[in-house]
Amino acid sequence: MAINIITSLKQKVKKSKLTKQLLSLPLIVIFLWLIVFFLEPRFFSSENFSNLGRQMTIISIVAIGQTVVIITKGIDLSVGSVVGLASVLSALMFASNMNPIIVIALTVFTGILIGLFNGMLVYNAQITPFIVTLGTMTIFRGVTLVVSKGQIVSGVPREVSSIAEGSFLGIPNLFIVLLAVSLIGVIMLNYTVFGRNAFSIGSSQESALLSGVNVRDTTYGAYMFSGATSSLAGALLTLRLASGVPTAGTAYELDAIAASVIGGASLFGAQGSIIGTVLGSTIMTTLKNAGNLLGIQPFWLQIATGLLLIIVVFFDQIRKR
């Protein structure tokens, strides 16, 4: 009973800090948008905002899965490679004129199996998540190159790929998918036993075990969800590019972690939110979008992303001290 009370108090304190951070993120986004608009008025055009929504969808979906893993005090470095593998596999199926819904379902199922593999290595083999997913990141990228023979997979029917460029009531289809995935993530983390268990494990795995939490299934579930979101992102990326790119998703693990941490997730576990992650992804995508509009070389934007991640993690460590 005492362990449950202490764990509950810790989680309440962390949620209070996270709530304060979440309240500041929309203000940061608005402030950033105003600065970009001042420098480049085209930023607020409907066409650019549609592009912004499509651009942020892919990395946001990947980051949502990453956030769930980070909350359990884990890390998934394989997400970028899973995106690439899913992109190639879905392109091959799309090119064979399979039903798009079946293609996406099979692609997501493949990601779930990959996530289960990661989770089993982390829990059953007791290997550090960083090492496990670093290894599988390399493995799945190699598998992608073998399957695709290092070549871009083309032949995706135009009527299928056009889905990514379409919209419903003025809202890009891809962004609607992001909203659906975000809603699933919010419900899962805040209103299910799995969500409570994920935060408990991130706070203290030993305390979670003593409290009767099923650590194995929760660990499996976190990595399976990450695999599912990454593979879904890969399939959506194929639709957007109208082809499967074996190098797709390169460095997405960095972007996903950065979006999660900027959004309030802590690499120490037991802290994070889906809404915060999407806002963090919005900030990152805005920087890249602004860079394109202003003609800034992408190399500088990559440097800025890395620096931003280091700064955010630095302040996160200060808060923990």
User: Is residue 32 domain-resident?
Assistant: no
User: In the predicted model, what is the mean pLDDT of the chain?
Assistant: 89
Q: Do 63 and 249 touch, CB atoms closer than 8 A?
A: no
d(CA 235, CA 93): 10
Q: Give the CATH number of the domain where residue 123 resides.
A: 1.10.3470
pLDDT digits (tens, 9 = 90+) for 206-262: 889 888 999 999 999 999 999 999 999 999 999 999 999 999 999 899 899 999 998
Q: What is the DSSP letter of 168?
A: E
Give the predicted TM-score (pTM) of the model. 0.90
pLDDT band at 141 (very low <50, low <70, confident <90, very high): very high
User: Is residue 176 domain-resident?
Assistant: yes
Q: Do 37 and 289 touch, CB atoms closer than 8 A?
A: no
User: Is residue 96 domain-resident?
Assistant: yes
User: Is residue 159 domain-resident?
Assistant: yes
Which residue segment(s) compose the domain that 181 sits in? 54-320
User: Is residue 110 domain-resident?
Assistant: yes
pLDDT band at 2 (very low <50, low <70, confident <90, very high): very low
User: Is residue 102 domain-resident?
Assistant: yes
Instruction: Identify the weakest region by mean pLDDT among 16-20, 108-112, 288-292.
Output: 16-20
- The average pLDDT across 13-20 equals 55
pLDDT digits (tens, 9 = 90+) for 288-315: 888 888 888 878 878 887 887 788 777 7
Q: Do 263 and 280 touch, CB atoms closer than 8 A?
A: yes
Task: Identify the residue with better confidence: 220 or 168.
Answer: 220
Which tokens sit at 282?
């919005």
The C-alpha R_g of the chain, in whole angstroms, comes to 19
Number of domains observed in the structure of the chain? 1
168 forms bridges with which residues in the sheet? Answer: 171
Percentage of the chain modeled with pLDDT above 90: 60
User: Is residue 36 domain-resident?
Assistant: no
User: Pick from 273, 98, 292, 106: which is nearest to 202 by CA?
Assistant: 273
- The average pLDDT across 68-78 equals 97
The pLDDT value given to residue 20 = 59
User: Is residue 271 domain-resident?
Assistant: yes
